[in-house]
Structure 1
Amino acid sequence: MQTPLDQASPLDEVKMIFDPNSGKLVVTVPKKRFIASIPFDWIQRAAALPGKTVQVALALCFLKGVKQSLTFKVTQEALSLSNCSRQAYYQALINLEAAGLILVERPAGQRATVTLVNFS
């Protein structure tokens, strides 16, 4: 019988999780994160923008795949995926919106809702 540890390569991250049903630690291999295909002209335009904009753009592309929609609320996960400060993140949203790559709705007291534009 193969265990998740047997299936993992030496470079895979392995986690131990407590299973309350069995009362034991269980070895798991988390699913790998990946980004589905991104239109080249869209990411090329994002890469030409200043600062951490391309990192935020890639995080938004990842969220698009997770949410299975071009419109989604931005989560804290996007901020951590982009590996930038909150200020840099907000500036990147402004840059992407000015370039016509996204539309942003910013309701007061709520997370921003982003729609990816020309993403096909």
Structure 2
Amino acid sequence: MQYQTITKKNIRIMVDRFYSSVLKDDLIADFFIEKLGDEMISDEWQHHLNLLTDFWASMTTADNSYNGTPIKPHLDMQGLNRESFQRWLELFSQTIDKLYEEETANIFKTRGEMIAKNFIKQLKL
């Protein structure tokens, strides 16, 4: 079953599934493992997953629980490049397509592409 609407509950499911796929990816897993470790059950990962759930809720719903600056943690990451962000978008889209109906999925995809472009611009990649 695919979701028609966006809720914080299904955003958390999406975030968990997305980052599970990220940790298995040869191209981008190391960025996350270096910062958070390789076990999503750790306190560091759980904090990150909660933060990202709030972030995506603020990007796709009227939820305003996210309070942060998403670019800041990426500024000191060595090795980030356009290919990294392209792979992030591919994995993100695959996850979204599995969980949401097309119209709803497109909301996430549009915002994900906007975020990736903004990061690339701000990081001067």
TM more than 0.5: no
Q: Name the one with the larger strand percent.
A: 1
Per the normalisation by structure 2, the TM-score is 0.29
Q: Name the one with the larger helix percent.
A: 2
By relative contact order (CA 8 Å, sep 6+), the higher-ranking structure is 2
Q: Which has the larger radius of gyration?
A: 1
